[in-house]
Amino acid sequence: MKRKILFLMLSAFMYLASGCSKFLDIEPVSSATDENFWKTQEDANSATNAMYALLRKALNQGNGMAYYAYGDLLTDEITSSTNADFNPIVNMQLNTAVAASETWRPAYQLRRYDVFYQAIDQANRVIQKLPKMDENAFDNVSTRDYYIGEAYFVRAFAYFYMARVWGTVPIITESVVPINAVNLPASKESDVLDQSQADLTKALTLLKWSNIDQDDFALRANTGAALALQAHLSAWRGEYADCIEAAKSVLEIGEYSFVGRDSLNYRSIYQGKSNEGIFEISQNGENEGTNSGIGYFSLAGPYFRSLTDPILRISQDYIKTLFKDSNDKRFKSVFDIDYNGNYALCTKYANVKFSSNASNANAIFKNNIIIFRYSDIKLLMAEGLAAIGKTSSAETILNEIRTQAGLPAYTNDEPLIEAIFSERARELFLEGHRYYDLVRLYKHFNVYKFPEGKMNQSQFNAKKYLWPFDPSLLSTNPLLNQTPYWGTVNM
CATH number of the domain to which 176 belongs = 1.25.40.390
pLDDT at 10 over 50: no
- Note the pLDDT tens digit of each residue in 417-431: 999 999 999 999 999
- How high does pLDDT run on average in the chain? 91
Question: How many Å apart are CA 219 and CA 280, to the nearest integer?
Answer: 5
* Cβ–Cβ under 8 Å, residues 476 and 453: no
Question: How high is the pLDDT of residue 200?
Answer: 98
CA distance 443 to 357: 50
Residues 76 and 206 in one domain: yes
Is pLDDT above 80 for 179? no
Q: Which amino acid is at 101?
A: S
CA distance 269 to 368: 9
Collapsing DSSP to helix, strand or coil, 183 comes out as coil
> What mean pLDDT do residues 371-382 have?
98
Predicted local confidence at residue 180, as pLDDT:
54
393 lies in a domain?
no
Domain annotation covers residue 339: yes
For residue 475, pLDDT beyond 80: yes
Residue 1 has pLDDT above 80, yes or no: no
123 touches 206 (CB < 8 A)? no
Q: How far apart are CA 349 and CA 294, in angstroms?
A: 7
Q: Binning pLDDT at 50, 70 and 90, where does residue 107 land?
A: very high
Listed range (32-36, 71-75, 171-175, 204-208) with the worst mean pLDDT: 32-36
301 and 237 share one domain: no
pLDDT, position 160: 98
Q: Is the pLDDT of residue 31 over 60?
A: no
Please say which residue of 365, 390, 407 terminates a domain: 365
> Is the model's pLDDT at 281 over the cut of 50?
yes
Q: Is 189 inside a domain boundary? A: yes
Q: Taking Cα atoms as reference points, which of 338, 329, 311, 306 lies closest to residue 375?
A: 329
Burial of 184 (0-12, 13-18, 19+ CB in 10 A): middle
Q: Does 310 share its domain with 243?
A: no
pLDDT band for position 35 (cuts 50, 70, 90): confident
Q: What percent of the chain is predicted at pLDDT more than 90?
A: 83
pLDDT category of residue 290 using cuts at 50, 70 and 90? confident
What is the separation of C-alpha 253 from the centre of its chain, rounded to a whole number of angstroms? 24
pLDDT at 181: 57
288 CB burial (10 A radius; 0-12, 13-18, 19+): middle
Q: Are 190 and 209 in contact (CB under 8 A)?
A: no
pLDDT tops 50 at residue 29: no
Q: Is it the case that residue 461 has pLDDT exceeding 80? A: yes
pLDDT at 359: 67
Q: How far apart are CA 464 and CA 74, in angstroms?
A: 11
Which pLDDT belongs to residue 33?
Answer: 61
Whether 312 and 81 have beta carbons less than 8 Å apart is answered as yes
What one-character DSSP code corresponds to residue 195? H
Residue 353's pLDDT is 86
User: Could you tell me if 486 and 468 are in contact, meaning their C-beta atoms sit under 8 angstroms apart?
Assistant: yes
Tell me what percent of the chain is helix, strand and coil, each rounded to the nearest 5.
Answer: 55, 5, 40
**Rounded-to-integer distance, Cα 310 and Cα 287, Å:** 27
Q: Residue 373: beta bridge partners? A: 277
Across the range 383-411, mean pLDDT stands at 98
Question: Do 243 and 298 fall into the same domain?
Answer: no
In this structure, are 235 and 328 located in the same domain?
A: no
CA distance 70 to 58: 12
% of the chain beyond a pLDDT of 70: 92
Q: Clarify whether residues 214 and 322 are in a common domain.
A: no
Beta strands in 92-203 (DSSP E): none
Same domain, 220 and 348: no
Residue 16: the pLDDT is: 34
Backbone phi and psi for residue 464, each to the nearest 5 degrees, phi listed first: -65, -20
Region 200-206: mean pLDDT is 98
What's the mean pLDDT in 288-304? Answer: 92
Q: What distance in Å separates the CA atoms of residue 471 and residue 97, rounded to the nearest whole number? A: 9
pLDDT of residue 361: 76
* 479: three-class secondary structure by DSSP: coil
How much is the pTM?
A: 0.93
Q: What is the pLDDT averaged over residues 299-311? A: 93
174 and 320 inside one domain? no
User: What confidence score (pLDDT) does residue 264 get?
Assistant: 80
Same domain, 240 and 308: no
* Count of other CB atoms within 10 angstroms of residue 134: 10
Last residue of a domain, one of 365, 391, 416: 365
Report d(CA 458, CA 465) in Å as an integer: 11
Computed on alpha carbons and rounded to an integer, the radius of gyration of the chain in Å comes to 22
How many separate domains does the chain show? 2
Mean pLDDT score, 173-190: 79
Task: Using pLDDT thresholds of 50, 70 and 90, give the confidence band for residue 178.
Answer: low
Query: Per residue in 431-451, pLDDT tens?
Result: 999 999 999 999 999 999 999
15 confidence band (pLDDT: 50, 70, 90): very low
Distance CA 11, CA 254 (A): 40
Residue 406 falls within a domain, yes or no? Answer: no
Q: Does one domain contain both 221 and 352?
A: no
Residues in a beta bridge with 352: 365
Range(s) of the domain holding residue 228 = 41-248+467-488
272 contacts: CB under 8 Å, gap ≥ 6: 218, 219, 280, 282, 283, 284, 367, 368, 370
What 3-state class would DSSP assign to 419? helix
Distance, in Å, from the CA atom of 151 to the CA atom of 445, rounded to the nearest integer, reads 34
For residue 422, being part of any structural domain is answered with no
480 lies in some domain: yes
Report how far residue 371's alpha carbon sits from residue 321's, in angstroms, rounded to the nearest whole number: 26
Question: Do 243 and 132 share a domain, yes or no?
Answer: yes
Residue 391 has pLDDT above 80, yes or no: yes
Does pLDDT of 357 surpass 80? Answer: no
317, with CB counted inside 10 A (0-12, 13-18, 19+), is exposed
Domain final residue pick, 305, 331, 365 = 365
Q: Which residues contact 200 (CB under 8 A, 6 or more apart)?
A: 152, 153, 156, 226, 229, 230, 233
Q: Does one domain contain both 315 and 236?
A: no
Residue 55 is predicted with a pLDDT of 97
Amino acid, single-letter form, for residue 227: L
